[in-house]
Structure 1
Amino acid sequence: MPLDRAGLGTQVTELFRSRITDGTWPVGSKIPTEPELVEWSGAGRNTVREAISSLVQAGILRREQGRGTFVVSTSDLRSSVSRRVAATSRRDSLELRLALDAASARIAATRRTEADAERLVTLLRERNAAWTGHDLHERVRADSALHRAVVEATHNPLLGDVYEGLLEVFEEVQLHDVAGETDDLAQLHADLVDAIVAGDPERAADVMAALLQPMINGI
């Protein structure tokens, strides 16, 4: 695409960023090589390098020696929040999660669509199934998928970005919480989904608090 000479570096940076946010370069993927980007963007090699460096510094891209440059996040907000929370204590992380999850549950109960409700019910079943095996990472994945779906049911993209930036940290904190032989939180998760599907925001927030507050109290 043609680019104006003024502010060229900013334009190229935003051009690359748009490929990340629209999913052309998804998280985890390797972006095109520098010569390919030069040819595609019509910008000079130095401008392309500056644009990539800007996105690396923002935490959106990561260079790996001998392998290339990979997408690690879709937004500056998501990556900066993730880095900040990774340096905090378990208590701080859980308290932040409680604040976000309770607010998300309350909003989701008022905004969820029928498709959201069906997805929550499906993910609840998948979460229950994960506890029939002994793979802790699969349990965390299934639990995170359900909580992420609650956030997505708010239809608030900013809230979604913040939550995604925190999710990896939340999952690390959670690993030892899913190690039991039985799922002691199964009924509360069922109650959570029921409250959101029923459109009861206060009950949804209360159930989320009942899920997370005991973990904080136990520290």
Structure 2
Amino acid sequence: MPLATTRRAGLVDQVIDQLRTAVTQGEWPIGERIPTEVELGEQLGVGRNTIREAVRALAHTGILEVRQGDGTYVRATSEVSGAIRRLCGDELREVLQVRRTLEVEGARLAAAERTDEDVAELRALLARRDVELQEGRWPDFARTDAEFHCAVVRSSHNGLLTELYRGLTEVITASVAATSSITPGAGHMPEIGHEGLADAIADRDADRAAAEACGFLDELLSRIETA
């Protein structure tokens, strides 16, 4: 990862910006341990105290997590995601309730604002999701399923709504084990089709798109409550 040597003014702020960029651009994925203070100091040309202060600031926002004796790990890709994770913790039911609110409106807006490219992306993700489901590649299936729902909200072309939803999706991804356990007797994510949602968005039917999104999440919530 190319990290530029910082200037002497505002060192901590510059380090914070570069570490945040490394996270948001995917250089350090969620759950991965970042380089040590010594390694970062050598790459950036600053002292360990500067690195430590920058890491502490990003840990306070929820982007990083410092584990004593183990290192520092990526916890979220943005301050919004970090704040949501701190607020929600591992309470999957609450996360899904809020996610439903955002996704239903996201689907409604997507039906009105989507482009042909958006529809093509939704179709491609569903096709990949189906293959992963048939082959039993559950971790890949879960990631692609999350990508599909992000793509639905992104098709609304509302930047703030998309960022809020992405924060919730990271919490959902972190709770995959809990999500997969809500289908009795199954060791994988529940199979719920999304073709109807994609069709409604493609047809620019806002009410039907909202109903499809709401139905999917209501079913998940129902499974949690009866599990």
Aligned AA (1:27): I
The answer to whether the Cα contact below 8 Å between 1:61 and 1:73 also exists between their aligned partners in 2 is: yes
Q: C-alpha root-mean-square deviation of aligned residues, in Å?
A: 3.1
Q: CA deviation at 1:106?
A: 1.3
Counterpart in the other structure of 1:99: 101
Task: State TM-score, norm by structure 2.
Answer: 0.75
Tell me, yes or no, if the aligned pair for 2:108 and 2:209 is still in contact at 8 Å. yes
CA contact (8 A) 2:6 2:15 kept: no
Is the counterpart of residue 127 in structure 1 residue 129 in structure 2? Answer: yes
User: For the residues of structure 1 that align with 2:110 and 2:184, how far apart are their CA atoms?
Assistant: 29
Quote the residue 2:213 is aligned against. Answer: 208
Match of residue 146, structure 2, among 144, 158, 162: 144
1:8 corresponds to? 11
Separation in 2, partners of 1:152, 1:162: 11
Task: Verify the 8 A CA contact 1:140 1:175 in the aligned structure 2.
Answer: no
Instruction: Give every structure 1 segment of 4 or more consecutive aligned residues whose post-TM-superposition deviation is greater than 6 Å.
Output: none
* Closer/same/farther in 2, CA of residues 37 and 135 from structure 1, 3 Å limit: closer
Equivalent residue for 2:180?
175
Offset of 1:204 from its aligned partner? 0.8
The change in CA–CA distance for 1:169 and 1:27 in structure 2 (over 3 A counts) is closer
Q: What is the TM-score with the length of structure 1 in the denominator?
A: 0.78
Residue 63 of structure 1: aligned partner: 66
Cα-to-partner distance string for 1:32-74 (whole Å, 9 max, x where unaligned): 3323322333333211111112212322123355654332321
Aligned to 2:119: 117
Asked if the contact 2:76/2:170 (under 8 Å) is kept, the reply is no
Farther off after superposition, 147-156 or 190-199: 147-156
Counterpart selection for 2:54 from 51, 60, 75: 51
SS of match in other structure, 1:121: helix
Name the count of aligned residue pairs. Answer: 214
Inter-partner Cα distance in structure 2 for 1:208 and 1:180: 25
Say if 1:102 and 1:208, in contact at 8 Å, map to a contact too. Answer: yes
2:129–2:141 CA contact under 8 A, matched in 1: yes
Give structure 2 stretches of 5+ with no counterpart. none
> 3-state SS of the aligned residue for 2:72?
strand
- Contact 1:136–1:179 (8 Å) recurs in 2: no
Residues 26 and 129 (structure 1), Cα distance of their counterparts in 2 relative to 1, 3 Å cut? closer
Greater shift in the superposed pair: 74-83 or 163-172: 163-172
Change (3 A) 1:127 1:177: farther
- Against the structure 1 CA distance between its residues 39 and 128, is the aligned structure 2 distance closer, same or farther, given a 3 Å change threshold? closer
Letter in 1 for 2:59: V
User: What's 2:87 paired with?
Assistant: 84
* Counterpart for residue 153 of structure 1: 155
- Equivalent residue, structure 2, for 1:192: 197
